[in-house]
């Protein structure tokens, strides 16, 4: 009886995983987004710069994962909130810019990222593509700030630094320990201020990551981009 029960469980899990659609190719993702009214391309503008890290080799994988997918797209809900954040920043620091490191990320690319961290200490920082990242819905954006000279503000760590030093929840602890300066945290707080006031939600694990809507709402309401 126990053997039959175990066999049934194995068969059930196999069915569930086989029922999950595999990610599309990058070109299929581009075609889908281009033909959808739900997404818009985010372009450089006053107060906004684009530097897609996964479309370069300047990322933790050291590879260009995006290939032809080299434009920043967001769901219109997230894009509208980003536009508000730009306006808010211009009102406070007109010489500064938001710089986008990552926006909509097709699930095809999520698989590539996952394969690079699976089974490592970094696994907790990358969403399993089978359930999907909020980036895969075009509802998340990774970004930082540029000063008047176009130089990134010092945030205490680089983008995709998968350590506790990057986590907003530990900032006070690291200030006391002397591992983060007040200026570094103030830079983070400025970024957080304009993003949160624009309607975004700060991810507790990464100072650069903001969601346009709660995770549960995104996954229950919107369609993932394969």
Residues belonging to the active site = 206
Paired tokens of 194:
């304009």
* Residues 146/97, Cβ–Cβ less than 8 Å: yes
Alpha-carbon gap, residue 8 to 216, rounded angstroms: 30
* Residues 111/226, Cβ–Cβ less than 8 Å: no
Paired tokens of 190:
């400025």
């Amino acid at each position: 009886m126990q053997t039959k029960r175990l066999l049934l469980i194995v068969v059930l899990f196999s069915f569930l995983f086989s029922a999950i659609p595999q990610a599309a190719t990058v070109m299929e993702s581009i075609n889908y987004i281009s033909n959808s009214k739900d997404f818009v391309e985010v372009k450089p503008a006053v107060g906004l710069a684009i530097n897609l890290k996964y479309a370069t080799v300047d990322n933790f994988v050291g590879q260009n994962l995006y290939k032809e997918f080299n434009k920043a797209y967001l769901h219109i809900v997230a894009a509208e909130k980003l536009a508000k954040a730009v306006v808010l920043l211009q009102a406070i620091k007109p010489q500064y810019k938001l710089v986008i490191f990552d926006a909509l990320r097709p699930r095809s690319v999520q698989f590539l990222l996952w394969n690079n961290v699976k089974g490592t200490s970094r696994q907790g920082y990358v969403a399993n593509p089978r359930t999907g990242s909020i980036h895969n819905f075009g509802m998340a954006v990774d970004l930082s700030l540029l000063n008047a000279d176009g130089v990134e503000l010092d945030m205490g760590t680089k983008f995709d630094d998968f350590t506790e030093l990057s986590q907003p929840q530990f900032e006070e602890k690291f200030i006391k320990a002397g591992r983060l300066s007040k200026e570094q945290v103030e830079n983070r707080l400025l970024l957080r201020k304009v993003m949160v006031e624009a309607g975004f939600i700060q991810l507790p694990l990464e100072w650069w990551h903001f969601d346009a809507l709660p995770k549960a709402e995104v996954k229950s309401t919107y369609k993932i981009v394969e």
